[in-house]
Amino acid sequence: MTAQQHGEHGEASQNRPTAEQTGGLAQQQQPQPQPQPQPQPLSLPLPHTHHHELSPSLPENAAAASAALALAVAEPDPISLQHTPAVQPAAPAPQRVHDKQSGSYIVRTLFAGGIAGCAAKTTIAPLDRVKILFQTSNPHYTKYTGSFSGTLRAMAKIHGSDGIMGLFQGHSATLMRIFPYAAIKFMVYEQIKGFMMPRKGDETSFRKFMAGSLAGCSSVAVSYPLDLLRVRLAFEVRLSRPPAGLVETIKAIYSEPRTLVPASASASGAAAAASTTESTAVAGPPGGIRNFYRGFMPTMYGMIPYAGVSFLTYETLKSWVSNHFMSYTLVNGEAIARQRQAHHDAHSNDVGFHPDHHDEGVGHIKPQLKAWSNLTIGGLSGIAAQTCSYPFEVIRRHMQVAGKSTTGAKHATTLATIADIYGRRGFSGFWVGLSIGYIKVVPMFAVSFYVYEWMKILLEID
């Protein structure tokens, strides 16, 4: 080939479109969809690599890129994890938050407490009748005091003279009194507890005691007249005629003179009455409503240790068995153990963390006692409360039945009643009937706290 031909051939080669240009023109002539953004790194030429060497590996590189993209989505960058909070396991469903000041919560608490009190008093009604007869030194039953067998003989005598209903004499007034008493006691306790101890860490023995004492005093202030009426109905013993009814007893209490006199003075006329001391000089006008508050002050004195110790003992023992014997005493012990372990693992490095001071707030499971453990704790709290407050109860009973007692004139005030009891029976006179008191309070407190806890679950109070 000549140089001229070679030049023409080279010129023709330069003017002839290449295969790539031909393919590009053909692709430009075909209608193409809107281009989508594609990963660009694959189209960049690599060092020391000819362009035509990339073509056979394009499908393989695209597949590898897709796999890498999927892997990046499935496995986040470890560096980014340093700035991203770790994903925690799903927390249990949060419990319902209760507004303790709402009307609905207060009404449900009142109802639960009232039912618990009625159930407890019905359980021990026969024992309560005998205990009142012993405490007030009823002359027909004094010989039976001092032993458990005497209690059984007294119950047999009541049953023989008045039948089964004689063991429940005064129980209607008991229920009338105990429903508002127990309802207010538990409701006020829940309100004060929520105010003084909103969190688990705020609970102390003193605060528990104060909450229980204030709750007990509040309930007594409302229900005391009904308590006096109950005691009077239980004290009444009529061997030749039926016992007095509720209306008859109310009228009798209302009509009794405010100033009590000995039976001999009242029978001897105005001249004999005038020669007596000032406190028993005249059987004045009817006392009216004030008669229903005889013995109110010693009742308030006794209620401070009675209600305070009962709630303190119950709450303390409940927390203790829930922390140390949960697998035996709790229905949901395993769930509580898992919750506390998770709480410990999450907060063990926190400053001031204590494993027993976990917060039972929203989303935490509330401990639920088994029946036997709840009954046992309730019974023990009753024993503690009865021991601390029993002398006040004896004083109160004597003052409540003063209108029907032969020694009623000596029980006009708290100090006078204390002096009379000590003068007649000594120090042991303040503990008369304590053995039957223990027999009574153990089932009463056990049933009361158990039914209240059950009602709280049923009514979704806690």
More confident residue, 278 or 444: 444
Q: How confident is the model at residue 38 (pLDDT cuts 50, 70, 90)?
A: low
Any long-range contacts for 35-44 (C-beta under 8 Å, 24+ apart)? 39/65
Nearest alpha-carbon partner for 235 in 89, 95, 128: 128
- Comparing 90-99, 354-363, 380-389, the range with the smallest average pLDDT is 354-363
Q: How confident is the model at residue 120 (pLDDT cuts 50, 70, 90)?
A: very high
Residue 13 pLDDT > 80, yes or no? no
Residue 269 pLDDT > 50, yes or no? no
More confident residue, 240 or 206: 206
288 phi-psi bin (left φ>0, alpha ψ -120 to 50, beta other): left
Residue 18 pLDDT > 60, yes or no? no
The pLDDT assigned to 264 comes to 44
Q: At 203, list the tokens.
A: 């609970």
Dihedral of CA 126/130/135/136: which sign? positive
Nearest 10 degrees: Cα torsion 425, 428, 430, 434: -130
Residue 68 pLDDT > 80, yes or no? no
Q: How confident is the model at residue 447 (pLDDT cuts 50, 70, 90)?
A: very high
Q: How many percent of the chain have pLDDT more than 70?
A: 65
Exposure pattern of 117-148 as b/e (b: 16+ CB <10 Å)?
A: bbbbbbbbbbbbbbbbbbbbbbeebeebbeee
Residue 209 pLDDT > 70, yes or no? yes
Compute the residue count for the chain. 462
Residue 269 contacts residue 282 (beta carbons within 8 Å): no
Q: How confident is the model at residue 176 (pLDDT cuts 50, 70, 90)?
A: confident
Mean pLDDT of the chain: 74
pTM score:
0.64
3-state class percentages of the chain: helix first, strand second, coil last, to nearest 5? 70, 0, 30
pLDDT tens-digit series, residues 315-374: 999 999 988 888 888 888 888 888 777 877 776 666 554 555 544 443 467 888 999 999
Q: Around Cβ 79, how many Cβ atoms within 10 Å?
A: 7
Give the mean model confidence (pLDDT) for residues 392-411.
76
No. of helices (H) and no. of strands (E), the chain: 19, 0
Rounded Cα gap, residues 247 and 267, in angstroms = 26
According to DSSP, the residues that pair with 369 across neighbouring strands are 330
Residue 310 pLDDT > 90, yes or no? yes
Q: Around Cβ 322, how many Cβ atoms within 10 Å?
A: 18
The pLDDT assigned to 351 comes to 55
Rounded Cα gap, residues 208 and 197, in angstroms = 9
pLDDT tens-digit series, residues 180-198: 999 999 999 999 998 999 8
Measure Cα distances from 354 to 75, 200, 207, 359 in Å: 37, 12, 21, 11
More confident residue, 302 or 82: 302
The pLDDT assigned to 448 comes to 96
The pLDDT assigned to 383 comes to 95
More confident residue, 39 or 130: 130
